[in-house]
Structure 1
Amino acid sequence: MFNYRIDDSLILTLLETRDAEALYALIDRNRNYIGQWLKFPSMTLSVDDSKAFIERTRLRYAKDDGYWIGIWEGGELVGSIGYLYIDQDNRKTEIGYWLGQEYEGRGIITRAIQVLIQYAFSRLNMNKIEIGAASTNTRSRAIPERLGFQCEGEIRDYEFMNGQYLNRVIYGLLASEWDSRSGGTRD
């Protein structure tokens, strides 16, 4: 089971059914904020919706087909991060993430992404990691840029949300680029 302690207060763990209420409460508190760029808040209308999501992600984890992980700070769920898919044939994955607005600006997502990058390259044997973000979501876009991802392009009218089309910027990082940044080690 995926469980990683980043520091004394920050932990990444695979979500469990018992986390459904905390997950729903976090989404509900941040529904409008997160919903500017992501669709899932509009589809998460009850604790049962969160429970069903957790069950689906646990099945995907068992199938090695991508999964979501809870980000916990001081025992409180503050966001989620995960591999949207794991493409073994092409040795690539995409990382998705979100954080409650009240927890932004403290480096939580950056540190969590670094863990998933290292894990994808060293344990999952991936060659490439992608991150996509709405072109207008400057806070989210700053994270892959800060971590050395290359901007690979912008997909116009990628997603229709809140009565408008959002463009999506795609970032990519190769294992060789990460190795050169991290001193050549994947351990």
Structure 2
Amino acid sequence: METPAETFTRDEFSLTRWQSADCAAVAAAVAGSGAHLADWVPWAMDGYTASDAADFLRLTHENWETGRAYEWAIRAGAALAGGVGVMTRDGGVEIGYWLAREFTGRGLVTRAVSLLVSDVFARGAGYVEIKHDEANVRSGAIPARLGFSLVGKEPRPDAVRPPSCAGTHHVWRLERP
């Protein structure tokens, strides 16, 4: 698959490739969302610092350059609303996402994922998968809304499980039309 665009712009939101200049905004968005994120993702469980944000941004740069993953900031106007990423898999991709607490319920992730699904299929991906903890009903509503099929369950790979998690991922899949 070819490398995706670094920026996508739609009506009231945009996706922009993460930059090192985003460090303070990432740290503030994650830290400000406290338990909202820590309930579901291990990387937010013990607080989130500027050092964590810098490590994340370094990793996203490395992943982009090697083609392992492509990640973008979700921006609502000038505000950092969250993040979305496309991880390459054999023959397809997996998409993951998160939102800062104050940006939930606006359809931002649904529209961002829809945009990226169209993009990865145009660039040759054979399928898209989305995985989420079975207790995270809001996260699971996104692939359901976008026409994905629930194809299975698997144990969460996390060594430390976030507090609200059931420990089982739902696996959703959409095949290229």
TM-score by length of 2: 0.90
Residues 127 and 34 (structure 1), Cα distance of their counterparts in 2 relative to 1, 3 Å cut: same
Q: Distance in 1 between matches of 2:79 and 2:133?
A: 27
Q: Distance in 2 between matches of 1:122 and 1:44?
A: 38
Residue 131 of structure 2 corresponds to which residue in structure 1? 132
Q: How many residue pairs were aligned?
A: 171
Determine whether 1:86 maps to 2:50: no
**147-156 vs 69-78, greater mean Cα deviation:** 147-156
Residue 3 of structure 1 corresponds to which residue in structure 2? 7
CA-CA distance at 1:111 after TM superposition: 0.5
CA-CA distance at 1:157 after TM superposition: 5.6
Determine whether 1:100 maps to 2:119: no
Letter of the 1:130 counterpart:
E
Q: Distance in 2 between matches of 1:52 and 1:43?
A: 15
Residue 167 of structure 2 corresponds to which residue in structure 1? 166
Determine whether 1:47 maps to 2:50: yes
Q: Distance in 2 between matches of 1:165 and 1:111?
A: 27
Gaps of 5+ in 2: none
CA-CA distance at 1:167 after TM superposition: 1.2
SS of equivalent residue, structure 1 residue 45: coil
Determine whether 1:74 maps to 2:77: yes
Letter of the 2:98 counterpart:
W
Greater RCO between the two (CA within 8 Å, min separation 6)? 2
Tell which structure's C-alpha radius of gyration is larger: 1
Contact kept, 8 Å, 2:135 with 2:166, in 1: the verdict is no
Contact kept, 8 Å, 1:44 with 1:50, in 2: the verdict is no
**104-113 vs 148-157, greater mean Cα deviation:** 148-157
Residues 172 and 49 (structure 1), Cα distance of their counterparts in 2 relative to 1, 3 Å cut: same
Contact kept, 8 Å, 1:5 with 1:11, in 2: the verdict is yes
Q: Distance in 1 between matches of 2:44 and 2:19?
A: 19
Residue 180 of structure 1 corresponds to which residue in structure 2? none
CA-CA distance at 1:156 after TM superposition: 4.1
SS of equivalent residue, structure 2 residue 45: helix
Residues 157 and 67 (structure 1), Cα distance of their counterparts in 2 relative to 1, 3 Å cut: closer
Q: Distance in 2 between matches of 1:16 and 1:158?
A: 28
CA distances 1:109-159 after superposition (whole Å, capped 9, x unpaired):
010001110111102x10011000110111110110010000011124654
Contact kept, 8 Å, 2:41 with 2:162, in 1: the verdict is no
Letter of the 1:57 counterpart:
T
Letter of the 2:25 counterpart:
A
**155-164 vs 23-32, greater mean Cα deviation:** 155-164
CA-CA distance at 1:67 after TM superposition: 2.5
Between the two proteins, what is the percent identity of the paired residues?
Answer: 27
Residue 41 of structure 2 corresponds to which residue in structure 1? 38
